[in-house]
Amino acid sequence: MRNPLLADADGRARPIQAAVWYLVVIVLVVLFFWASLAMVGVALDFSFVARFQVRILDGLLLTLAISAGSLVLSLVIGLPVAVGQGSRVLPVRYLCDLYVKLVRGTPLLAQIYLFFYVVGTAWGVENRLVAGIVILSVFSGAYIAEIVRGSLSSLDAGQLEAARAVGFTRAQTMRYVVVPQLVSRTLPALTGQFASIVKDSSLLSVIAVVELTQTMREISATTFNLFGTYLFLAGLYLCLTLPIMFVSRAFERRLTYAH
């Protein structure tokens, strides 16, 4: 008889086992939160959802639009930067390096204010939505560059020599050796980064981009229903990020090769 608490020797859980224990964990977490709410003496009230449904939906759609736009633009920024960090042209290499260090080493909030009110004003960026997407992409691009650079540098030089030894052209080496490994190593992390973009877009509320978080902040300010609004907000973000994390896991499983 196998111990129902433990996964198999190879680390897998049987489907029923997984379902049961996941459910138990969820119930425990919900109970803990429920008990905390009861101890604080807060009665949750979600009546605002019906009253403000149009604004909430608008905010949700804007968050989705910002996230999608930033995903594309941050890839456009991040991929060349990752390559540029290994460039033999030193100004390019150092520019890419400085960009990654500056962005990763400073808070997004500071970047938003400085970009919007200094750079944005100086160069006449009037549209808040555009400014927001650009700022978020510049921020996320640095993380994507790091993810890609990490997997590029993890490629074993011996593989490239081996590819040359069997007579692969440069294109064939890319197609059959480099790209498959790069995809398998970066795709799960990139998908995870997309989940971060969705969450980080909430900070654009400080420059009056009325996305989901700002919408909820405004509703909370008029209804004083801090717990209801933010719990609902957290739930909405989870609805967006959980599927993304699920996809990220699936990629991880599908694309894991035995090295």
Partner 1 sequence: MMSEDLIGRTVSRRGLLAATFAASGMLATLAGCSSGDSTDAATASDGSSKGTLKVAMELAYPPFETRDEQGEPTGISVTFMRDFGEAYGYDIQIENTAWDGLIPSLQTGAADCVISSMTITDEREEQVDFTDPYAVAQLAILANASSGVASIDDLNQEGKTVAVKTGSTGDVYATEHLTSATVMRLTDESACVTEVTQGRADGFLYDQLTIYRNQAANPDTTTAVYIPFQDPEYWGIAVANGNDALREELNAFIAEGKENGEFDRLTDQYLSEEHTAFEELGFRWFFDFDDSQEQANA
Binding site for partner 1 (CB under 8 A): 36, 39-42, 113, 117, 121, 126, 205-208, 210, 214, 217-218, 220-222, 224, 226-227
Closest contact distance (angstroms) between CB of 67 and partner 1 is 20
Name which of 151 and 220 has its Cβ closer to partner 1.
220
Closest contact distance (angstroms) between CB of 235 and partner 1 is 18
C-beta separation of 223 from 189 below 8 A: no
Name which of 20 and 38 has its Cβ closer to partner 1.
38
Q: How far is CA 235 from CA 67, 86, 151, 199, 241, in A?
A: 17, 41, 33, 12, 10
User: What is the dihedral angle through the alpha carbons of 248, 255, 142, 79, rounded to the nearest 10 degrees?
Assistant: -130
Closest contact distance (angstroms) between CB of 236 and partner 1 is 18
Closest contact distance (angstroms) between CB of 68 and partner 1 is 24
Closest contact distance (angstroms) between CB of 115 and partner 1 is 13
DSSP secondary structure, 47-114, as one string: THHHHTHHHHHHHHHHHHHHHHHHHHHHHHHHHHHHHHTT-SSHHHHHHHHHHHHHHHTS-HHHHHHH
Name which of 115 and 251 has its Cβ closer to partner 1.
115
Q: Which residue has the tokens 């590029």?
A: 152
What's the one-letter identity of residue 100? V
Name which of 36 and 159 has its Cβ closer to partner 1.
36
Name which of 218 and 252 has its Cβ closer to partner 1.
218
